[in-house]
């Protein structure tokens, strides 16, 4: 009996193989049954038609794009960063705007006079509210102070260069005139303010504007010293009235700020050359046979 049962009972391995064949057939034939997850887990990925069916389908679009990653030549563009023109703006906040407001204030002071100018007038000219102007300056006194001190700092820096060159009296005179016109070209409104308002401002506030009086004294000493040297070495006339000559030079140089315009037909250097030629050589043509001085 046991032998007959052994013959009638199918081999378990054969049954397992038959079940697997039926499972594969059902998975290919139609809708998945309850065993679909197990079948799906065992089913290999279908092959795409690319390359003769030897490449798995593109289930993840990011993976095929990875070969293009090395193509990123944008990395070397980092040297372009210094080209950004905004980097120099890491200066004190509002410095550019402050300079613009000072230039506007200088024009208004030169045009209307210090006393007639109000903070509202400057603000209107700058296209802003008067209250906003106080964000940059505490008063119009501060503004005119900044305008004049910047001008005089530049002027005396240039005068020192001329003095330190230790030239003869005539080229020193010419250098001082040239420097005066150069600063007039750069600070024309400030020169006008200085001419009109220096004494009044110094008398109103010696503590704040005392440097204006000091500058006038230094200016007189410098020009007087140059004229005296020229008389002493024969460069200038022996009968020259030095105080009169100083006042003449001072007024004729700086009054030019009233009519001089940097955009005019002659540059500051050209006007300075014409001025020194007229002062030192005169405007009359030399008489026949008369030799002009050096």
Show the tokens assigned to 220: 């007189």
C-alpha–C-alpha distance, residues 260 and 267, integer Å: 9
Phi/psi class of residue 237: alpha, beta or left (left: φ > 0; alpha: ψ in -120 to 50)? beta
| 21-33 b/e (C-beta count within 10 Å ≥ 16 → b) | eebeeebeeeeee
**258 falls in which pLDDT band (50, 70, 90)?**
confident
pLDDT digits over 8-29, tens only?
A: 444 544 444 444 444 444 444 4
Show the tokens assigned to 63: 């993976």
Specify the pLDDT at position 292. Answer: 55
Please name the residue that has the structure tokens 């279908």. Answer: 46
Residues 6+ apart with CB under 8 A from 124: none
**284 falls in which pLDDT band (50, 70, 90)?**
confident
Per CATH, the homologous superfamily of domain 141-280 is: Tetracycline Repressor, domain 2 (1.10.357.10)
- Alpha-carbon torsion (176, 245, 153, 196), positive or negative: negative
SS (HEC) of 198-227: HHHHHHHCHHHHHHHHHHHHHHHHHHHHHH
**77 falls in which pLDDT band (50, 70, 90)?**
very low
Average pLDDT over residues 87-102: 63
User: What three-state secondary structure class fits 191?
Assistant: helix
> Is the per-residue pLDDT at 288 higher than 90?
no
C-alpha–C-alpha distance, residues 74 and 42, integer Å: 44
> Is the per-residue pLDDT at 56 higher than 80?
no
Specify the pLDDT at position 264. Answer: 87
> Is the per-residue pLDDT at 63 higher than 90?
no
> Is the per-residue pLDDT at 48 higher than 70?
no
Task: Please state the pTM of the whole predicted model.
Answer: 0.64
> Is the per-residue pLDDT at 50 higher than 80?
no
Phi/psi class of residue 276: alpha, beta or left (left: φ > 0; alpha: ψ in -120 to 50)? alpha
Specify the pLDDT at position 33. Answer: 42
Specify the pLDDT at position 163. Answer: 95
pLDDT digits over 128-162, tens only?
A: 998 999 999 999 999 999 999 999 999 999 999 99
Specify the pLDDT at position 285. Answer: 84
- Asked whether the beta carbons of 126 and 102 are under 8 A apart, the reply is no
pLDDT digits over 149-206, tens only?
A: 999 999 999 999 999 999 999 999 999 999 999 999 999 999 999 999 999 999 999 8
Average pLDDT over residues 82-92: 37
Q: How many CB atoms lie within 10 A of CB 194?
A: 23
- Alpha-carbon torsion (245, 247, 250, 255), positive or negative: negative
Specify the pLDDT at position 110. Answer: 95
Q: Which of 283, 231, 228 is CA-nearest to residue 252?
A: 283
**286 falls in which pLDDT band (50, 70, 90)?**
confident
């Amino acid at each position: 009996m046991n032998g007959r049962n052994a013959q009638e009972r199918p081999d378990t391995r054969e049954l397992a193989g038959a079940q697997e064949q039926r499972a594969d057939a059902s998975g290919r034939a139609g809708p998945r049954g309850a065993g679909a997850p197990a079948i799906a887990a065992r089913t290999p990925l279908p092959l795409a038609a690319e390359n003769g069916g030897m490449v798995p389908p593109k289930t993840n679009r990011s993976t095929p794009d990875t070969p293009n990653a090395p193509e990123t030549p944008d990395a070397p563009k980092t040297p372009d960063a210094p080209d950004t023109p905004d980097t120099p703006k890491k200066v004190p906040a509002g410095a550019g705007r402050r300079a613009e407001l000072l230039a506007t204030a200088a024009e208004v002071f030169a045009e209307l006079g210090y006393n007639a100018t109000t903070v509202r007038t400057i603000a209107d000219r700058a296209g802003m509210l008067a209250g906003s102007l106080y964000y940059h300056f505490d008063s119009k006194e501060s503004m005119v102070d900044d305008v004049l001190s910047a001008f005089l700092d530049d002027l005396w820096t240039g005068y020192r260069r001329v003095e330190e060159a230790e030239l003869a009296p005539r080229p020193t005179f010419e250098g001082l005139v040239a420097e005066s016109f150069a600063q007039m070209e750069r600070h024309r409104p400030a020169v006008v303010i200085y001419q009109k308002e220096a004494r009044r401002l110094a008398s109103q506030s010696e503590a704040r504007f005392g440097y204006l009086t000091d500058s006038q004294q230094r200016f007189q000493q410098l020009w007087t010293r140059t004229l005296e040297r020229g008389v002493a070495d024969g460069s200038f006339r022996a009968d020259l009235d030095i105080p009169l000559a100083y006042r003449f030079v001072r007024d004729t140089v700086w009054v030019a700020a009233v009519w001089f315009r940097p955009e005019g037909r002659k540059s500051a250097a050209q006007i300075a050359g014409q001025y020194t030629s007229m002062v030192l050589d005169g405007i009359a043509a030399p008489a026949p046979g008369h030799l002009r001085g050096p």
